[in-house]
Amino acid sequence: MMRIKLEDIPKEGKQLVFLWGQESIQSFLAPKDPHGIAIPDPLSVEIYLFRKASQVHVTGSIRGKLNMVCHRCLESFSFPLEISVETFLQRKPTYLKEDEVELSEEDLLWEFFDGDEIDVDLLVAEEIFLSLPQVLLCSEDCKGLCPVCGKNLNIQTCSCKRMEFSPFETLKELRDSFSS
C-alpha cells in the first residue's frame, strides 16, 4: 500500500515514479470482477504532488494497457491507457464527517482524503476507472455472440436462424395461432 504523508510533501513538490501492477489493482476489483480487468504488464505512473496547507494539487500520467472482457463477445481484449492526471485533493473537513451534511458547491470541487495521508493506490485506481468507457467493447463493431449457438460471430459464422426480436412479429404469430 502506498501512502504519502502530507508533511512529507516539500514546498517544491514531490515526484513519484512507479510501476503499478496486478497486485495493486486487485483490492479495488469486485471479488468476481465481471469485467475481467487485469494488468498484464505493470502500468507506468508518474505523479507530481504540490501542497498548499492541507490542499494538494496532483498532476501526472498513467500509461500502459489493461486487459478486460468485451461486453458483447466476452473475449478478453487489450485496452490502451493514456491518462493525464489532474486533480485536487483536500483533507476532509471535520464538518463533512457528519453523514447528513450537504456538500456545498465548493466542496464538490475537491476530492477528499481522511487524516494526514494520501492513499496513492486509491488515487491511481480512481483515475483508471474514471477513464474507462461505460461499455467495454473489443471494437466498435464487435458482432458479439450468436444467441442460439453461442459462437463468437467475429471469428466464425453459423447457420442458426436468428430472429431479430420484433414486438410486431410476436403479435402476428400470436394472432395467427388464434386464427388457425
Query: What length does the chain have?
Result: 180
Q: How far is the CB of 32 from Zn ion (least distance, A)?
A: 20
Output 81 or 146, the one with its CB closest to Zn ion. 146
Query: Which residue, among 87, 86, 108, has the nearest Cα to 96 in the 3D structure?
Result: 108
C-alpha cell at 38: 487485469
Binding mask 122-141 for Zn ion (x = CB under 5 A): ----------------x---
| Residues in region 39-98 near Zn ion by CB under 5 A | 70, 72-73
Q: Encode 76-112: b = buried (16+ Cβ within 10 Å), e = exposed.
A: ebebebebebeeebbbbeeebeeeeeeeeeeeeebbe
Output 160 or 171, the one with its CB closest to Zn ion. 160
| Residues in region 149-168 near Zn ion by CB under 5 A | 149, 158, 160
Output 44 or 67, the one with its CB closest to Zn ion. 67
What DSSP designation does 53 have? T
Residues that bind Zn ion (CB under 5 A): 70, 72-73, 138, 142, 146, 148-149, 158, 160
